[in-house]
Amino acid sequence: MENQQVGSIHFQIDFSQPLYEQILDQFRSSIAKGEIDLGDKIPSVRELAQALKINPNTVMRAYQELERDGLTEKRRGQGTFVTASKEQVDHFRHQLAGKYIESFILQMENLGYSWSDIKTYMDKKHLGN
């Protein structure tokens, strides 16, 4: 149940998921939503580890995955930076959204809901939005 502000980023850490996944997801979200600007530097491995009171290796694991996502670039001796390419971020958003949708539809179909069921169901669920 940690609750930390590091630079411009707010971290919510608990024990419901692996730590490195939570860090990864919160960076993904912050970058995707533009809460961190393109090209910005993100906290160093040691700095974030110290702030969140976790091991540097755990932060490293999240940062490596971020780079594989194409969301960050690392410069040895300088730090880790958000990609300057809006296209890369958009590609990531589009790709992950596709996976989310596929797996959501599969879940619903496993419960016996057809595609049209899903649409009407979701309309009811979010009338006000």
Site for DNA, rule CB under 7 A: 18-21, 44-47, 53-58, 60-61, 63-64, 67, 74-80
From the CB of 4, what's the least distance to a copy of itself, in Å? 18
Structure tokens at 32: 């995707």
From the CB of 125, what's the least distance to a copy of itself, in Å? 6
25 binds, among a copy of itself, DNA, none (CB under 5 to 8 A by kind): a copy of itself
Residue with tokens 């959204």: 97
The 3-class SS string of 29-45 reads HHHHCCCCCCCCEECCH
Tell me which residue of 43, 40, 59, 61 sits closest to 6, measured CA to CA: 43
Residues 108, 101 contacting (CB under 8 angstroms): no
- Which element (helix H / strand E) includes 72? strand 72-75
- x/- track of binding to a copy of itself for residues 45-84 (CB under 8 A): ----------------------------------------
From the CB of 95, what's the least distance to DNA, in Å? 21
